[in-house]
Chain A
Amino acid sequence: MSTVATYIAQNRFGLGAASTDTATLEDPRIWLKSQVNRDATAGPSGFRSSAAILEDIHGTRNARKEKLGPIVKKSYRTDFAPEVLARAQQMVTTNTPFAERMVLFWSNHFTVSNAKRVIGPALPAFEREAIRPHVFGRFADMLKASSRHPVMLSYLDNDVSVGENSFAGRRQRSRTGAEKTINENLAREILELHTLGVNGGYSQQDVIELAKAISGWSHGGIRPRRDPKPVHGEFEFKDYFHEPGAKTILGKAYRNDGERQGLAVLDDLARHPATADFIATKLVRHFVADNPPPDAVASISSVFRRTGGDLASVSLALIDLEEAWKDPTPKVKNHYEFLISTHRALGNDTLRPGDVFEPLEEFGQFPFSAPSPAGWGDLSSDWLAPEALMRRVEWVRSRSARLPGTWVPDEFLEHTIGPVAYDATRTWVSRAPSGNSAMAIVLASPEFQRR
């Protein structure tokens, strides 16, 4: 194996070389494959469940509306911020960076953000509960876990979606004269963004029928006046929101089965060929190239279909793609990957909030704040804009100015980007007027910012 393969394993598939990594991996593919292991995907420990966080917030709101603002704010401080920091720390120090990249990929696929403030404190808990357990498990399980998680249900408004002919729907229609009570948001994004893809062959009618099938999927923080049950923060099927009757989606009829009706649809969506193609395209775009080579997509899609969406098999197949071991630097790291790889290279094993939140805000990728349910973009052009590049340069320059003089820039270059470093980069690192300026040139180099 060449050392270029080490660079590829560490950057294309990982989060950059850590200061403690060995210089050359003996077998980069075996190193990556050894990380395809469900033990490697556990999240930061010691943090509250989303159920506890949301019970607090909803309970407070339902008791005294004016206390909502303060408790959400407090929970950002005590739940959100520490867990986001611990997650970054885990990614900086992990020796299974490929597993973490997969977490990031799937977390972005099933994006949640604090477009609704009340769920904000529980966003990292969503990733820990709905994404991480299934990263090397089954796609169908992740899809169901995400679609039934109170954070997702709230983010995409399904928690308040009411079937027109449900008990609540009939009541609402007669009381207010409303004609439409269903909320299509989650159903549409499940079809468009989570499974089939926008060209996956569904119609507006399928969106509505899926919305009806999952109407009633809500949580214990929604308590209409006539519902005396105690507030809690977990999933709850509300029969009185659920649209009764059979539903037809993509030409298949689903009998009325209450809560299980929607699950049956999700199982079918998870094994639909369009889903396999859509997921394969996204994975290959993420790990190989902005324009995913069709052969690579076809090969990942076929593994997805053959294994019934087994994400461990899919991950192993990605590692085995020949296309992934050719051009070492086709893509630009997103801001989060760039931040984490910088801290890994510098061995920053005790991150402070200012090491994570401020730079990400400046770069334009504050954690869990993707601008839409489509998540963060995945093209180099999304991450290589003039202003954002200047923010990266400013940040590494100011970071490196504080580095101790014990770093040897030439060695740092070899360790991080050595196999792919351009001659010009070596030259200007060696000619730098100071050690910390040389370190900053390595971190600001295209080779370090690419993967």
Chain B
Amino acid sequence: MNRRDLLKWTLAGSALAVIRLSFANSETDKRLVVILLRGGLDGLHAMPPYADRNYRRMRPNLAVAAPGEGTGTLDLDGYFGLHSGLASLYPLYSAEELLLIPAAATRYRARSHFDGQNMLENGTRAPYGATDGWMNRAIAGLTGDEARQALSIGPAIPLIMQGANRVQTWSSTALPGVDEDFLKRLTHVYDSDPQFAAALASAQNSPQPRVTTANRRNPFKGPDFEVATRAAADLLARPAGPRMALLEMQGWDTHFDQERRLRNSFQDLAAGIVALKAGLTGVWDQTAVVIVSEFGRTAAQNASRGTDHGTGGIAMLAGGAVRGGRVHGDWPGLSQRSLYEGRDVQAVNEYEAIFKTLLIGHLGQDQGFVEDVVFPESRRIKPMEGLMV
């Protein structure tokens, strides 16, 4: 016996009762995975507009080589390419399971990581516009028992998953488990403190993915991303498993030495997506993965072969439920006149529009619920069309 067999021991009477909203929820077998890339991913590096003269002009010693010119850039549509660090995702593109949206961002238009991330996660139109996260609010639009809701991977719960609704959490550990008797006693101690009681109850309900965590972690980088994706996939693949999952990756703030650093990060990210697909065999057709970052970067490079904080970035969607194999959305170009404030890619494709489609068109959530609860004050932004199969 271990702590995790002590499921729901305390849940019935605890402060965790989830307030259900009375929207028309439909049972879904669809899965939604959100991957947050923290630091501001340079969309022009992930998906270089290699055929654009302005791109080479603004990035004289950073521009990614055109396909066939040595570094292995893969061609997407004759204008955009895919960075070779993401090469293991190319088979997904060929299989129409990878959709790439350039010039994408939230409504945030300044250049602070922390305000930008806060807004991407809180789902309102302002930094600190809500104290909970939009994925957490979206949980209320799911049905089924609590385990069929949301999963957050890692020792802490990011803002996007924080809130009133119940979230499953999992992180890899090398510490010995605690015996049931001790936890039972501790539960009584925690009755005095609702916040501790809730956190412990939730931890006792943590799922057990079948995943080896022996991989050595780099303590500075956080848990190995691929381990996290394998754990998430194992849980998501279960019939009664969660329907939404959140993963995150640090290290995308490339003011310096961008090519080397992004190549490594791209390889880790792509390996994670490939592991997700492998682990989701059987439900991959029901799955949509969306990869986003708080903003894009300057169109021009700086002297340190990096880029500074910008605006329009990129959204990547993967999964069998995604109508992929295409570059999607509008593209404003890179001429000086079309740049935002003369320096950044215009963010003409809105993340909120993408998220709405994923909730409404993919998970089958009620449009009114999504407009009123998940992304308040966003009716101006219509769900983006053409994303799902």
- B309 CB contact (under 8 Å) in A177, A188, A386, A449: A188
A389 touching B302, Cβ below 8 Å: no
Residues of chain B lying within 8 A (CB to CB) of residue A234: none
Stretch at the interface among B53-61, B81-89, B282-290, B376-384: B53-61
Pick the interface stretch among A44-52, A90-98, A345-353, A438-446.
A438-446
Report yes or no: B300 in contact with A179, Cβ–Cβ below 8 A: yes
Q: Is the CB of A385 within 8 A of B156?
A: yes
Q: Establish whether residues A384 and B195, one from each chain, have CB atoms under 8 Å apart when the complex forms.
A: yes
**B113 to nearest A CB, angstroms?**
6
Q: Which of B38, B174, B195, B220 has the most CB of A within 10 A?
A: B220
Chain B 273-317, CB-CB to A under 8 Å as 1, else 0, gives: 000000000000000000000000010111110101100000000
Q: Which residues of A contact B154 (CB under 8 A)?
A: 364, 387
Residues in B neighbouring A265, C-beta threshold 8 A: none
Any chain B CB within 8 A of the CB of A176? yes
Q: Which residues 212-264 of B have a CB within 8 angstroms of A?
A: 217, 219-220, 222, 250-251, 253, 255-256
Contact A180 B219 (CB under 8 A): no
Instruction: Judge whether A183 is part of the interface by a CB distance below 8 angstroms.
Output: yes
**Are the C-beta atoms of B220 and A384 separated by less than 8 Å?**
no
B112 touches A198 (CB 8 A): yes
Q: A385 touching B39 by the CB < 8 A rule?
A: no
**Contact present for A113 and B220 (CB under 8 Å):** yes
Among candidates B157, B176, B188, B304, residue contacting A157 with C-beta atoms closer than 8 Å: B304
Q: Determine the chain A residues whose CB is within 8 A of the CB of B298 once the complex forms.
A: 180
Whether B3 pairs with A390 at a CB distance below 8 angstroms is: yes
Q: Interface SS of chain B: helix, strand, loop or mixed?
A: loop
* Cross-chain contact A446 with B196 (CB below 8 angstroms): yes
A157 x B306 contact (CB < 8 A): yes
Tell me if B303 and A181 are in contact (CB < 8 A).
Answer: yes
In the complex, which residue of chain B has the Cβ closest to the Cβ of A438? B185
Interchain nearest-CB distance for A163 vs B (Å):
9
User: In the complex, which residues of chain B have a beta carbon less than 8 angstroms from the beta carbon of A223?
Assistant: none
Stretch at the interface among A24-32, A309-317, A319-327, A374-382: A374-382
Residues of B within 8 Å of A388, CB to CB, are 155-156, 171
* B282: min CB distance to chain A, Å: 27
Q: How far apart are the CA atoms of A79 and B362 in the complex, in Å? A: 52
Q: Which of A113, A183, A373, A381 contacts B304 (CB 8 A)?
A: A183
- CB pair A441 B196 closer than 8 Å: no
Q: Is residue B124 within 8 Å, beta carbon to beta carbon, of the partner chain? A: no
Judge whether A389 and B192 touch: CB under 8 Å.
no
- Which of the residues B193, B203, B306 comes within 8 Å of A183, measured between beta carbons? B306
Q: Are A361 and B217 in contact (CB under 8 A)?
A: yes
Q: Which of B39, B202, B304 contacts A386 (CB 8 A)?
A: B202
Q: Does A16 touch B at the CB level, under 8 Å? A: no
| In the assembled complex, A127 has its CB within 8 A of some CB on chain B | no
- Asked whether, in the complex, the Cβ of A441 is within 8 Å of the Cβ of B171, the reply is no
Q: A1 at the A/B interface (Cβ < 8 Å)? A: no
> Which of B60, B176, B199, B343 contacts A389 (CB under 8 A)?
B199
Partner of B178, one of A115, A168, A364, A394: A394
Q: How far is the CA of A137 from the CA of B276 in the complex (A)?
A: 52
Which of A65-73, A141-149, A420-428 lies at the binding interface?
A420-428
Q: Choose one: B38, B156, B176, B222; the contact of A372 (CB below 8 Å).
A: B38
Task: Enumerate chain B residues within 8 angstroms of A445, measured Cβ to Cβ.
Answer: 189
B169 lies within 8 A of chain A by Cβ: yes
A364 touches B255 (CB 8 A): no
> What chain B residues lie within 8 Å of A160 (beta carbons)?
256, 303-304
- Which residues in chain B, 322-341, are within 8 Å of chain A measured between CB atoms? 341
Smallest beta-carbon distance B207→chain A, Å: 11
Q: CB within 8 Å of A: which of B19-53?
A: 38-39
Contacts of A61 in B (CB 8 A): none
Query: Known contacts A391-B175, A394-B175, A424-B192: does B309 contact A184 (CB below 8 Å)?
Result: yes
Q: Could you say which residues of chain B place their CB within 8 Å of the CB of A369? A: 219-220
Query: In this assembly, does A172 line the interface, its C-beta being within 8 Å of a C-beta of chain B?
Result: yes
Q: Considering the chains assembled together, what is the distance between the CA atoms of A428 and B303 in angstroms?
A: 62
Q: A382 contacts B156, CB within 8 Å? A: yes
A114 on the interface (CB 8 Å rule)? yes
Contact across chains for A361 and B219 when beta carbons are under 8 A apart:
yes
Please name all residues of chain B whose beta carbon is closer than 8 Å to the beta carbon of A389 when the two chains form the complex: 196, 199-200, 203
Partner of B308, one of A168, A184, A432: A184
A176-232 contacts to B, CB under 8 A, are 176-185, 188, 192-193, 198, 204, 207
Q: Which residues of B contact A381 (CB under 8 A)?
A: 157, 162
Q: Using a Cβ–Cβ cut-off of 8 Å, how many residues does chain A contribute to the interface with B?
A: 76
The residues of A that contact B175 with a CB separation of less than 8 Å are 359, 362, 391, 394-395, 398
Residue of A nearest to B168 (CB): A386
Q: Which residues of A contact B125 (CB under 8 A)?
A: none
Flag if B256 contacts A394 (CB, 8 Å). no
Cβ of A306 < 8 Å from any Cβ of B?
no
B254 to chain A minimum Cβ distance, whole angstroms, is 10
Question: Do A204 and B341 touch (CB < 8 A)?
Answer: yes
- Shortest B10–chain A CB gap in Å is 13
The verdict on B268 contacting chain A, using a C-beta distance below 8 Å, is no
A265 to chain B, nearest CB (A): 19
**Whole-angstrom CA separation of A276 from B192 in the bound complex:** 38
**Do A440 and B182 have beta carbons less than 8 Å apart?**
yes
| Chain B residue at minimum C-beta to C-beta distance from A154 | B256
In the complex, are the beta carbons of A386 and B157 less than 8 A apart? yes
B108-141 to A contact mask, C-beta < 8 Å, 1/0 = 0011111100000000000100000000000000
* Chain A residues whose CB sits within 8 angstroms of the CB of B203 once the complex forms: 386-387, 389-390
- Interface flag for B68 (CB, 8 Å): no
Chain A residue numbers with a CB within 8 Å of B251 are: 115
Partner of A178, one of B3, B196, B303: B303
- Say whether B5 faces chain A, with CB atoms less than 8 Å apart: no
A120 interface hit (Cβ, 8 Å):
yes
Q: Which residue of A lies closest to B302 (CB)?
A: A183
B199, A384: Cβ atoms closer than 8 Å: yes
Q: Let me know if A386 and B200 touch, CB within 8 A.
A: yes
Given A180-B300, A394-B175, A424-B192; A433-B181 close (CB under 8 Å): yes
B189 near A428: Cβ-Cβ < 8 Å = yes
CB–CB A424/B188 < 8 A: yes
- Collect the chain A residues with CB atoms within 8 Å of residue B110's CB: 198
| Contact indicator B303/A120 (Cβ below 8 Å) | no
Residue contact A178 to B189, C-beta cutoff 8 Å:
no
B258 CB to closest chain A CB, in angstroms? 11
Residues 266-307 of A contacting B (Cβ, < 8 Å): none
Q: How far is the CA of A364 from the CA of B39 in the complex (A)?
A: 18
Q: Do A387 and B169 have beta carbons less than 8 Å apart? A: yes
Shortest 5 CB-CB distances between A and B: which pairs? A181-B303, A364-B155, A386-B203, A446-B193, A176-B60
For this complex, 23 residue pairs linking A to B, each with C-beta atoms less than 8 Å apart, are: A157-B255, A157-B306, A160-B304, A177-B57, A178-B60, A179-B58, A180-B58, A180-B298, A198-B114, A198-B127, A366-B219, A369-B219, A381-B157, A385-B169, A385-B199, A386-B169, A387-B171, A390-B200, A390-B203, A391-B173, A422-B192, A441-B185, A441-B189
Q: Which residues of A contact B (CB under 8 A)?
A: 113-116, 120, 156-157, 160-162, 168-169, 172, 176-185, 188, 192-193, 198, 204, 207, 332, 357-359, 361-364, 366, 369, 371-374, 380-391, 393-395, 397-398, 422-425, 427-428, 431-433, 437, 440-441, 444-446, 449
Further pairs besides A176-B61, A397-B178: 4, Cβ < 8 Å: A156-B255, A160-B256, A178-B301, A362-B173
Give B residues with C-beta under 8 Å from A: 3, 38-39, 57-58, 60-61, 110-115, 127, 154-157, 162, 169-171, 173-178, 181-183, 185-186, 188-193, 195-196, 199-200, 202-204, 206, 217, 219-220, 222, 250-251, 253, 255-256, 298, 300-304, 306, 308-309, 341, 343
